[in-house]
Amino acid sequence: MPARNVAPRRNLFVQAVPDPGGRIPSSRFPGLSGRPIDLGEVAMLEGNAWPVGHIRVHEVHAVTVIELHGEIDIAAALDVLPALDAATFDDRRTVVLDLGPVVFFDVYALRLLCRAQDRVVARGGRLLVVCAHRNILKLLRAGGLLDRFDPLPTMAEAMERGAREATG
């Protein structure tokens, strides 16, 4: 299993949907002089480059944080699955799954969420989902999964709850 970061990190969360040209308004990123930026630039802002793929896993204050980003469809889900399984392997862990940087989420991605929760719960842990995207919440509701995941609106709220649960 790969080593995890144990120090808190300053992360870049892209919560804006790009326009058809693949650009995000720079108002989401202070200091860019109001010019639109390309998605490739977003990954390198503040030195927080995303790894290849759609998932990043790290640890903050004894909580495993899984960040999904971009478009999570059947193709991306197949790429995400091995890292997601590795991140949900530890016993009695609180795991936060952040969907904030996701710009597209389909029914196959729901399967990933269910799998992650099943794996975490089977090992005595708890999965907290962060999601404020209206369309993803509609998909969870339509799939009868909104009550199962009870998504939290902010990462701060999830980390606070996760830290409380991790320390007992």
Task: Characterise 166 by phi-psi region: left (phi > 0), alpha (psi -120 to 50), beta (else).
Answer: alpha
What would the mean pLDDT of 104-119 be, rounded to a whole number? 94
User: pLDDT-based confidence at 93, cuts 50/70/90?
Assistant: confident
Crossing angle of helices 74-87/107-122, nearest 10°?
A: 10
- In the numeric block, the tokens 């927080």 are attached to 48
Q: Is the dihedral of CA 25, 29, 34, 35 positive or negative?
A: negative
pLDDT score recorded for residue 163: 85
pLDDT score recorded for residue 61: 84
- Alpha-carbon gap, residue 111 to 106, rounded angstroms: 9
- Alpha-carbon gap, residue 49 to 83, rounded angstroms: 17
Token pair listed for 4: 């995890």
User: pLDDT-based confidence at 92, cuts 50/70/90?
Assistant: confident
Question: What share of the chain in percent tops pLDDT 70?
Answer: 68
pLDDT tens string 40-70: 433 333 344 444 468 999 988 889 999 999 9
